[in-house]
Amino acid sequence: MVVAPGWGDGVCRHCLVGNTHICPNVRWPGFGPVGGFAEFIPVPARYLVKANRRLKFEELAPLTDAGMTPFRGMKKLRDAGALGPGRVIGVLGIGGLGGYAVQYAQLLGGGAKVVAFARNPDKLAIAKNYGADHIINIKDKSSNDIAKELSKATGQADLDAIIDCAGAEQMMQLGFSLLAISGHYVDVGLVGDRVDIPLFPRVSREQTFHGSYWGNNTDLTEVMALAAEDKIRHTINIFRFDQINEHIELLRAGEIVGRAVMKF
């Protein structure tokens, strides 16, 4: 079993369509009365989701968070019609979430070309390994140079869809500068807290921005179904409870490649 993390009140209109994680009365294990780095917590039964017994703890743990968040974001792009043959999707930021986003772009993209953007060559290598058709290192490059590189790689200088796994201001400015006519931009990252972008192209090019926050029971159930079929690959660093502070520092410094999992 795994735990779907957004516990709603069960009665509001968001809960009633299954989006308990955006309920105005939501409770998050780890942010409220229970959870965090506890070994055991009480969980309302309806938030337990079945997981294949064969899967290991360290494979399941990141799927409830880093593995689910970009999945929901990718579904929003798919449901908006932003993916499919002849489209190009950009994955911005290849950290704990981006490595999964690249895989979901291939699984749900319906033939769209997948391009990963990041500054760290090790992280880009992971993206390539996970099925990115192209990788672009954006470190110290102007958005014009990046557009040229994108054009050389894919035959077009813009992106029909973007999943942003960083949410950092500079990265978002780059993302919006690359967003195509009728493009869809979904952000799941929360590194920055605000963004300054030109308004006119958003309107004249009829672009859409989607916020996408963690995931609900259905998202987690679908991720578990993919995991049960070995369709999701992981880059995991396992550490012990007493190493937690140093790993939080590494995470803050952006030095964790993939996802860190604490084992008791």
Choice between 21 and 234, CB closer to Zn ion? 21
Q: Confirm if 248 and 116 have CB atoms less than 8 A apart.
A: no
Choice between 28 and 57, CB closer to Zn ion? 28
Instruction: Please state the closest distance from residue 10 (CB atom) to Zn ion, in A.
Output: 6
Instruction: Please state the closest distance from residue 14 (CB atom) to Zn ion, in A.
Output: 5
Q: Give burial (CB, 10 Å; 0-12/13-18/19+) of 124.
A: buried
Choice between 9 and 230, CB closer to Zn ion? 9
Choice between 23 and 150, CB closer to Zn ion? 23
Choice between 23 and 260, CB closer to Zn ion? 23
Instruction: Please state the closest distance from residue 29 (CB atom) to Zn ion, in A.
Output: 16
Helix or strand or coil: residue 58? helix
Residue nearest to Zn ion (CB): 23
Instruction: Please state the closest distance from residue 16 (CB atom) to Zn ion, in A.
Output: 8
Choice between 24 and 42, CB closer to Zn ion? 24
Q: Confirm if 124 and 116 have CB atoms less than 8 A apart.
A: yes
Q: Record the tokens describing residue 185, joined without a space.
A: 């931009």
What is the rounded CA–CA span in Å between residue 120 and residue 153? 19
The residues of the shown chain that bind Zn ion, judged by CB under 5 A, are 8-9, 12, 15, 23
Q: Record the tokens describing residue 249, joined without a space.
A: 């520092």
Instruction: Please state the closest distance from residue 223 (CB atom) to Zn ion, in A.
Output: 22
Helix or strand or coil: residue 232? coil
Instruction: Please state the closest distance from residue 12 (CB atom) to Zn ion, in A.
Output: 3
Report CA-CA distances (Å) from 81 to 110, 210, 214.
10, 13, 21
User: Which residues have CB under 8 Å from 75's CB, separation 6+?
Assistant: 108, 219
What is 66-131 written as a DSSP string? Answer: TTTHHHHHHHHHHHTT--STT-EEEEE--STTHHHHHHHHHHHSTT-EEEEEES-HHHHHHHHHTT
Choice between 9 and 145, CB closer to Zn ion? 9
| Size (the chain), residues | 264
Instruction: Please state the closest distance from residue 8 (CB atom) to Zn ion, in A.
Output: 4
* Dihedral of alpha carbons 173, 174, 177, 179, sign: negative
